[in-house]
Amino acid sequence: MSILLDLADYDGKQVAVLEAIKRSRTPDVTLLTELIALVDADESDVATGATWLLRSYLEDGATLGPKLVSSLASALRHIDSHWARLHICQAVRSIVIPAGDASSFADFLRESTQSKRPFVRAWATDGLFHLSRQHASYGEEARLGLEHALTDRAASVRARARKILLLA
């Protein structure tokens, strides 16, 4: 059964629906491929649900091979949903990003640091930090972004920046 059919029951609010989907499926290559294909779906609830599942599976130890990371990198510039954007920013810490895809992730994260949504800004800063740990060429940008986040008007952004400092 297609993950898209499962996501039809998700209304953008009921996380219990996503948790049930997660429990019912194993994050194999087929499922991860289907989820990545939906991260930039025109329907916001579908993109939100797909990215929530993807992030959750990655946090639980699922891995994306280089081809899947490249597919995700190609979709980043088309993500419109702020929730989907947030989930991808949160997932960056769980993704091994090949050098050839690093600039796509950097562009996405850089743009996300300018979001109107504080949690997106906070997690984009976190994502840039984790990207810089994999690709040193982003180190200075991550450092400057962290400095900026420490002075952000939103407490959540400042709090995430302080947590990043504990990792540095």
Residue 133 shares a structural domain with residue 123: yes
Two tokens, residue 62? 């699922």
The confidence score (pLDDT) of residue 45 equals: 96
Q: Does 6 share its domain with 74?
A: yes
Contacts of 106 (CB under 8 A, 6+ apart): 128, 131, 138, 141
For residues 106 and 138, the answer to whether their CB atoms sit within 8 Å is yes
Residue 167 has a pLDDT of 84
Clarify whether residues 89 and 34 are in a common domain.
yes
Kindly state the average pLDDT of the residues 16-25: 96
Domain that holds residue 105: 98-168
How many domains are contained in the chain?
Answer: 2
The predicted-structure confidence for 35-71, as pLDDT tens digits, reads as follows 999 999 999 999 999 999 999 999 999 999 999 999 9
Mark which of 78, 96, 114 sits at the end of a domain: 96
Same domain, 117 and 144: yes
pTM for the predicted model, two decimal places: 0.96
pLDDT tens per residue across span 100-140: 999 999 999 999 999 999 999 999 999 999 999 999 999 99
Q: Report the CATH number that the domain containing residue 144 is assigned in CATH.
A: 1.25.10
Mean pLDDT computed over every residue of the chain? 96
Residue 69 shares a structural domain with residue 90: yes
